[in-house]
Amino acid sequence: MLFSKELLKGVWKEMRSTPQHAKGVWSGAKTIRPDVKYFYGQHKSQYLCYFKPKKIDPKKPVLMFFHGGCWMVGVPEMFTTRARIFVEEGYPVFMPTHRKIPYYGYSDIKEDLILMFQKLPELLAVHNLQNRPILIGGMSSGGNLAALISYDEEILASANFSAAQIIGSLYCAAPLNLEGMPDSIVLRGFAGKKSFNVFRLASPINHLKPGHNKPALIVHGEEDGLVAYASIVAFKNKMASITNSPIRFVTIPNGSHISAVKWVGPDAQVRQLILEWATTLV
């Protein structure tokens, strides 16, 4: 069923919470312009935006942050408020985008991840960042992609990119366990039916291995109507049981999907928590 009762209840929950959270998402969230846009493929959506701080902090890693949008909509230029938070702290920031569903699915987007990491060493060298560690992060569907990069070892191996350069990962309202999500046109557009092998591969929880030892910060709303909180708890528990990764799991009490990504606005508590955690990585 493409619009399950569970999904519709979740959407309604988010709709009811949006009015009270909307101001917190956007109020005071000044946008910035990317310094330059680099293409890593021929498609119009195969590019990365680079945001350069006025003064790069030598102690800060490069941040590679993936925007949300249900794998279907959005571009980095719509989410520059997230880049601004880090740029003001001295982080060099790359924000990539990718080909979108329904015309392209998981296999195509995985190919995009490989292509962008094949291109990344060249871009790092242009900005004299080639030896700097990298923090991977993402919000909503972008968090799913960040997790695939972190845990699907085939992606970086295919790109011939050293996994050692990545020092941690940040997930905000991210679908890390697709099996725990309600059936929908969007989910099928990305990963197909739950019975398909491609669906298993598109779910980061299935790539967790004992050898993974990079720190991770997971921020999730307790009442998320789009990515069930229980599915993320299951991811965290599996991660804790089979990997060596230091995990910081932050629950936003009574928080919605939007709650976990509204740290660009006046809600400084989650923003400060994220920034403080990031400073512990290097």
Q: What is the pLDDT of residues 62-92, one digit of tens each?
A: 999 999 999 999 999 999 999 999 999 999 9
- The CATH-assigned architecture of domain 5-279 is 3-Layer(aba) Sandwich (3.40)
Q: What is the pLDDT of residue 262?
A: 80
Q: The whole model's pTM is what?
A: 0.91
| 3-class secondary structure per residue, the chain | CCECHHHHHHHHHHHHHHHHHHHHHHCCCCCCCCCEEEECCCCCCCEEEEECCCCCCCCCCEEEEECCCCCCCCCHHHCHHHHHHHHCCCCCEEEECCCCCCCCCHHHHHHHHHHHHHHHHHHHHHCCCCCCCEEEEEECHHHHHHHHHHHCHHHHHHHCCCHHHEEEEEEECCCCCHHHCCCEHHHHHHHCCCCCHHHHHHCHHHHCCCCCCCCEEEEEECCCCCCCHHHHHHHHHHHHHHCCCCEEEEEECCCCCHHHHCCCCCCHHHHHHHHHHHHCCC
Of 201, 129, 207, 114, nearest to 165 by C-alpha is 129
Identify the segments of the chain with pLDDT beneath 70: 1-29, 264-267
Look at residue 269 in the predicted model and tell me its pLDDT.
85
**Per-residue pLDDT tens over the stretch 184-216:** 999 999 999 999 999 999 999 999 999 999 999
Q: Which pLDDT score is estimated for 267?
A: 60
Q: Which long-range contacts (CB under 8 A, 24 or more apart) does 206-211 make?
A: 207/148, 207/151, 207/152, 207/153, 208/151, 208/238, 208/239, 208/242, 208/243, 209/151, 209/153, 209/242, 209/243, 210/242, 210/243, 210/244, 211/243, 211/244
d(CA 192, CA 154): 20
Collect all residues with Cβ–Cβ distance below 8 Å to 153 and sequence separation of at least 6: 163, 207, 209
Half-sphere exposure of 35 (CA within 13 A, CB side): 14
Residue 61 CB-density burial (10 A; 0-12 exposed, 13-18 middle, 19+ buried): buried
